[in-house]
Amino acid sequence: MAKEVAVSGVTVEAAGHPIVQDIGFELGSGEVLGVVGESGSGKSTLALALLGFARTGATVTSGQVSVDGVDLLALPPADLRRARGRKVAYVPQDPATALNPALRISTQLTEGLDAPALSRVRQLLDTVGLPSDDAFLRRRPRQLSGGQQQRVAIAMAIAAGPRLIVLDEPTTGLDVATQSRVLDLVRELCRTRDLAAIYVSHDLAVIADVADQVVVMYGGEVVEHGTAREVLTRAAHPYTRALLAAVPSATHRHRLVPIPGRAPGIDETRTGCAFAPRCDHAVPACHTTPPPLVRAPSGTLARCLRVEEIAHTTRTAPRAEPHQPADHQAALLSVSGLTAGYHGRQVVFDVSFDLQHGECLAVVGESGSGKTTMSRCLAGLHPEQQGSITFDGKPVPAAAARRDVRTRRELQYVFQNPYGSLSPHRTIENSLLVALRHYFGVATREGRRRARAALDRVEIPARLADRYPAELSGGQRQRVAIARALVCEPKLIICDEVTSALDVSVQASVVELLRSLMSDGPSMIFVTHNLAVVRSISDAVVVLSQGRAVEAGRTERVLGAPAHAYTRSLLAATLEVPQS
């Protein structure tokens, strides 16, 4: 029986080098194909190629993308433009790239319709679970939450009735509850509209929840392909197994294992397996012989010369023991009756907690729960706040400008976006030197030594010291932002969603880096919506809902036996990669 979607031999090149090469799969109506891999593996390039599109400097050089019997890549440009939306549609990671900030929601939804009608627009909103009243239709994107914006983007994508929808990281950065609603929507659309969907993500737990088939990409190639259960529970390729070892779990605490090295660049010459330089199972032949895609004992297709041996190797997750905090009687940080608001509207209500020396306290909750507002209050970055904050036994003023130099130095903040910590106009070394000169008055020579030592501590090579933030990857920028905090010799580091946009291996390396830093002394407040990461790194948890602390306690107790219904709902929405 012919499949709704048949892809074969898709290759995209830039400057004569392949970015993705010889990609093929088939997908029936109602099915979801998950595409996973690290940043730089070619996932987004493939997603765009399925629409016959390539970014500036790249070209789709060969292949077929047949949707409902029509080969999109063989269409003349005008016909291909008409097919986008009618045959295949695209939902980007950031809905801001799909939505015009100047236009009302009703206007944007009618653009994809041959015969615009208000009743049709209301039906689309009902389909994606959004209000369809006049007040909502008059809104502009900035007046919607991130989850609402993503649902509007999906409504726009399905407006013209496509047969294939390509979703490129649509839930990255969303809290677990909003993510769950978006995934439910994708599954329901595929079932009720006979849509085929391709879901691109670096989150293996999301893929386990939504996908029927999984394609694992590395270096622009498919390295493993099979059903979701086969790939995620019986992986036969070392790269797939390495990705799985980097995934945290909300049900048990274990040490995350980052993948050593880095993904290959498109201009690097390959003489064997692309993953061989990073692979623990590589033998000399792996560096010289390109492996074919073969059937593994697990049932998957795997691109590996040693697939038979690896398929029968047991995967184990190393345990991570809870931190042993230093023996102090008094808490490092005490917060009592903290309230905060914006322009007179209160958003944080009477929050109190203690942080012990040497511990990691996680602050969790949905988007809009008050996590970031509260953490900015602690750092003295939020003007409208009341309550008391005691740091290292001394009360501290609410505003950072009124705090003494020692308090500002010892309480450091790492932003979700590293550009919040790093100036784009300074080299990364100079960003660290500014802090060293300000707090310690060190000379340039000593400052450079300390800066290089801090960069080495976060595993940033000295050769990158003269680069600007824009020349680094997202994970490297986040590590530099952490180094920028470390040179201040802090007693407390506040990390605000520092892993939310990182792929699974980079997330693992940052989490393990933070774990190692705490063993040397600094305490940490880790703000996140990812309960799996919380289980991996934190000793205690504060759960915020609508600005109120609804539950607090040791991590094992809060996540193992939650007392509040809201905490239980967050855990119920948290996805897990199946173990067997």
Q: What is the CATH number of domain 333-423+489-573?
A: 3.40.50.300
pTM for the model stands at 0.88
Tell me the C-alpha distance between 28 and 3, whole Å: 5
What is the per-residue pLDDT across 381-397, written as a single tens digit (0 to 9) for each? Answer: 999 999 999 999 999 99
Angle CA 44–46–49, to nearest 5: 110
Return the number of other C-beta atoms located less than 10 Å from residue 56's C-beta.
5
If DSSP states are collapsed to H, E and C, what string results for 544-572?
EECCEEEEEEEHHHHHHCCCCHHHHHHHH
Tell me the C-alpha distance between 95 and 90, whole Å: 11
Q: Cα dihedral sign for 302, 303, 307, 313?
A: negative
Establish whether domains 5-98+162-237 and 333-423+489-573 are of one fold.
yes
Using alpha carbons, select from 519, 495, 489, 520 the residue that is nearest to residue 407.
489
**In the chain, domain spans:** 5-98+162-237, 99-161, 333-423+489-573
| Phi, psi (rounded to 5 degrees) for 349 | -125, 110
Tell me the C-alpha distance between 318 and 255, whole Å: 5
Mean pLDDT of the chain: 91
State whether CATH 3.30.930.10 applies to domain 5-98+162-237: no
CB neighbours of 111 closer than 8 A, spacing ≥ 6? 156
- Look at residue 332 in the predicted model and tell me its pLDDT: 94
What is the per-residue pLDDT across 240-251, written as a single tens digit (0 to 9) for each? Answer: 999 999 999 999
| Phi, psi (rounded to 5 degrees) for 544 | -105, 140
Tell me the C-alpha distance between 272 and 568, whole Å: 48
Tell me the C-alpha distance between 222 and 63, whole Å: 15
- Joined together, the tokens standing for residue 240 give 């797939």
- Look at residue 115 in the predicted model and tell me its pLDDT: 66
Asked if residues 95 and 141 have their Cβ atoms less than 8 Å apart, the reply is yes
Element containing residue 181 per DSSP (H, E): helix 176-193
- Look at residue 320 in the predicted model and tell me its pLDDT: 64
DSSP lists the bridge partners of residue 36 as 216
Low-confidence ranges of the chain (pLDDT < 70): 1-2, 112, 114-116, 317-329, 520, 580
- Look at residue 319 in the predicted model and tell me its pLDDT: 67
